[in-house]
């Protein structure tokens, strides 16, 4: 079926222009200036479905390269399944997710990946791919990294945090980076000094400092900056491309920016929670409410100015991607596991539905341009993780993953109206200027106004190529 999206302002990483988007089947076939008759034929003659986007932005579907659907963590599982989480993503204008398959020590990487395929297959409303977490770096898992690259898994996450769970020591990190340098894959790093953090956590608990805010106070910025520095140095030793996930401390990004200025192939990601939420206002909320905001890296102090600095680094491209690290846990029976002991609160916040909206507020507030919004939410993540040009921009030949975004809409984020399987919202009450109007995934309309028209199983698995930022 052919679809024409008419009269919208098409926003690509190259800028914004009024144009019509012609879709045939699952792909974009042309961008046409209104009234364009260059070809002497009316390309739109056989269009069955015309969508009027006058006064609206037409943007590439969001690409969220950091989600954790159903992640087993802290004695429970992240509350969104691939079905509920991918549907919520669609409501928020995200049409591709890249989730993390998890391998633990002693487990075959291929088995871990197969288990993730089994969770997602036939469940997703939108297209999806996987990164692979390597929780046990050894000869076997290193060999598996080469095999996985050939299968379209081209990025591997390692942890400098969570000793005894996902943690890799420096020797393991070095070996995994050497392997990545050999096969062209990207190392994604959770950069926090987990050994030091565990000491600080044990000391806090022993003192009786058990409230949720101590989660942040026992993971100070120094532990993020130190790990960031170490990861960069190990990457430099090996030549592997390095992508540091969920950066929240301005000092850590200073270190990353310095390495980028020296020309090293290192990249940083942040998430909406680090731009909008803080240690003082959220993690230190009265009673046990701070548990809603427990995630790692932790929310940082607004008094210290981290949030403003992250916006700056989004403008300078030292932070290149905004993903969500979507890892929702309900307050009831999940976050509650940490009543009386913050260290037992499952780490994570649910954001997959709100990333495109929250980043658009950066346009409204003058932090970033329209084109940069699209670049951060779609184009760069697609390029970074080998999905471009199929995903990430509106050009002929790309998948017709398209969002019509209405700058005149007004919404207030609330647990009452969100679609994530989560019994609270970390963003409760935040007013959103703008909002998603229509979402197409590979040419099918899956959101129209306040109607969900998608279906589970529509989403296809994406074999990814290598990063397009390889040098």
Under rule CB under 6 A, residue 351 binds ligand DUC: no
As a whole number of angstroms, the distance between CA 452 and CA 438 comes to 10
C-beta closer to ligand DUC: residue 87 or 157: 157
Interface pick for ligand DUC out of 3, 12, 218, 296 (rule CB under 6 A): 296
For 234-384, list the strands marked E by DSSP. 242-244, 266-270, 321-322
Asked whether position 216 contacts ligand DUC by CB under 6 A, the answer is: no
Burial of 174 (0-12, 13-18, 19+ CB in 10 A): middle
Residue 354's alpha-carbon distances to 64, 216, 323, 406, 432, in angstroms, are 11, 23, 11, 15, 10
Binding partner selected for residue 362 from Zn ion, ligand DUC, none, CB under the kind-specific 5 to 8 Å limit: none
Query: Contact 137/174 with Cβ under 8 angstroms?
Result: no
Counting residues that bind ligand DUC (by CB under 6 A) gives: 9
Q: Which of 61, 136, 290, 348 binds ligand DUC (CB under 6 A)?
A: 348
The two structure tokens encoding residue 183 = 């096969």
| Min dist. Cβ of residue 66 to Zn ion (A) | 6
Residue with the closest Cβ to ligand DUC? 295
CA distances from 311 to 308, 350, 432 (A): 5, 21, 18
361 near ligand DUC, rule: CB under 6 A? no
The least distance separating ligand DUC from the CB of residue 462, rounded to whole angstroms, comes to 22
User: Which regions of 283-364 does DSSP assign to beta strands (E)?
Assistant: 321-322
Residues 6+ apart with CB under 8 A from 210: 204, 340, 341, 342
Least Å distance, CB 420 to ligand DUC, is 15
Q: How many CB atoms lie within 10 A of CB 45?
A: 7
Interface with ligand DUC (CB under 6 A), residue from 186, 347, 438, 441: 347
Estimate the crossing angle of helix 221-238 against helix 194-207, to 10 degrees: 160
- Distance CA(381)–CA(277), nearest Å, equals 23
Q: Under the criterion CB under 6 A, does residue 68 sit at the interface with ligand DUC?
A: yes
Nearer of residues 74 and 443 to ligand DUC, judged by Cβ? 74
Q: How far, CA to CA in Å, does 416 sit from each of 290, 332, 454?
A: 20, 16, 21
Among 56, 87, 131, 190, binds Zn ion (CB under 5 A): 190
Binding partner selected for residue 84 from Zn ion, ligand DUC, none, CB under the kind-specific 5 to 8 Å limit: none
Q: Which is nearer to ligand DUC, 11 or 189 (CB)?
A: 189
Q: Which is nearer to Zn ion, 159 or 405 (CB)?
A: 159
- Rounded CA gap, 351 and 355, in Å? 6
Q: Which does 73 bind (CB under 5 to 8 A by kind): ligand DUC, Zn ion, none?
A: ligand DUC
For 365, residues 6+ apart whose C-beta sits below 8 A from its C-beta are none
Burial of 176 (0-12, 13-18, 19+ CB in 10 A): buried
- Nearer to Zn ion by C-beta: 104 or 315? 104
Among 244, 295, 322, 447, binds ligand DUC (CB under 6 A): 295
Alpha carbon distance 289, 272 (integer Å):
19
Q: Of 67 and 438, which has the nearer Cβ to Zn ion?
A: 67
Longest CA span, the chain:
79
Q: Which does 348 bind (CB under 5 to 8 A by kind): ligand DUC, Zn ion, none?
A: ligand DUC
Q: Does 64 bind Zn ion (CB under 5 A)?
A: no
Q: Does 212 bind ligand DUC (CB under 6 A)?
A: no
- Structure-token pair, residue 104: 């633990």
Residues sharing a CB contact under 8 Å with residue 35, sequence separation 6 or more, in sequence order = none
Identity of the residue, 301 or 323, whose beta carbon is nearer to Zn ion in the bound complex: 323
Positions 383 through 412 that interact with ligand DUC (CB under 6 A) = none
Report how far residue 345's alpha carbon sits from residue 126's, in angstroms, rounded to the nearest whole number: 30
Instruction: State yes or no: residue 131 binds Zn ion (CB under 5 A).
Output: no
**Minimum gap (Å) between residue 323 Cβ and Zn ion:** 9
Site membership for Zn ion, residue 325 (CB under 5 A): yes
Segment near Zn ion (CB under 5 A); pick from 2-10, 184-192, 329-337, 380-388: 184-192
Which of 20/325 has CB closer to Zn ion?
Answer: 325
Residues in the site for Zn ion, rule: CB under 5 A? 190, 325
Residues in the site for ligand DUC, rule: CB under 6 A? 68, 73, 190, 295-296, 325, 327, 347-348
């Amino acid at each position: 079926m052919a679809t024409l999206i008419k009269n919208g302002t098409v926003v690509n990483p190259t800028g914004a222009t009024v144009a019509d988007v012609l879709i045939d089947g699952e792909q974009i076939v042309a961008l046409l200036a209104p009234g364009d008759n260059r070809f002497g034929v009316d390309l739109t003659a056989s269009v069955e479905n015309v969508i009027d986007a006058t006064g609206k932005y037409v943007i590439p579907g969001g690409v969220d390269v950091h989600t954790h659907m159903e992640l087993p963590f802290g004695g429970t599982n992240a509350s969104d399944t691939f079905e509920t989480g991918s549907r919520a993503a669609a409501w928020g204008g995200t049409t591709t997710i890249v989730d993390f398959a998890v391998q633990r020590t002693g487990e075959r990487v291929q088995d871990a990946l197969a288990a993730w395929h089994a969770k997602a297959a036939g469940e997703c409303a939108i297209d999806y791919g996987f990164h692979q977490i390597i929780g046990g770096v050894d000869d076997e898992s290193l060999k598996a990294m080469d095999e996985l690259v050939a299968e379209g898994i081209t990025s591997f996450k390692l942890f400098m945090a969570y000793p005894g769970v996902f943690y890799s020591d420096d020797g393991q990190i070095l070996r995994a980076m050497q392997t990545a340098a050999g096969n062209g894959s990207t190392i994604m790093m959770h950069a926090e000094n987990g050994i030091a953090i565990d000491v600080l956590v044990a000391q806090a608990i022993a003192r009786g400092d058990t409230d949720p805010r101590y989660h942040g106070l026992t993971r100070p910025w120094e532990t993020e900056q130190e790990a960031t520095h170490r990861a960069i140095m190990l990457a430099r030793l090996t030549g592997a491309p390095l992508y540091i996930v969920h950066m929240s401390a301005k000092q850590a990004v200073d270190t990353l920016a310095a390495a980028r200025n020296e020309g090293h192939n290192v990249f940083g990601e942040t998430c909406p929670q680090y731009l909008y939420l803080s240690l003082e206002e959220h993690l230190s909320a009265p009673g046990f409410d701070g548990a809603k905001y427990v995630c790692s890296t932790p929310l940082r102090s607004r008094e210290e100015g981290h949030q403003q600095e992250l916006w700056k680094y989004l403008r300078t491209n030292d932070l290149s991607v905004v993903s969500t690290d979507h890892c929702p846990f309900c307050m009831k029976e999940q976050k509650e596991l940490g009543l009386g002991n913050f260290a037992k609160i499952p780490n994570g916040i649910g954001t997959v539905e709100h990333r495109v909206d929250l980043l658009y507020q950066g346009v409204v507030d003058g932090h970033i341009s329209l084109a940069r919004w699209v670049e951060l939410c779609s184009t760069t993540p697609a390029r970074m993780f080998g999905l471009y040009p199929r995903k990430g921009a509106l050009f002929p030949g790309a998948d017709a993953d398209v969002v019509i975004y209405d700058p005149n809409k007004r919404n207030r984020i609330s647990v009452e109206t969100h679609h994530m399987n989560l019994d609270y919202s970390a963003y409760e009450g935040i007013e959103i200027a703008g909002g998603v109007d229509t979402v197409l995934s590979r040419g099918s309309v899956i959101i129209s106004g306040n109607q969900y028209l998608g279906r589970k199983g529509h989403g296809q698995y994406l074999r990814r190529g290598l990063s397009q930022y390889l040098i």
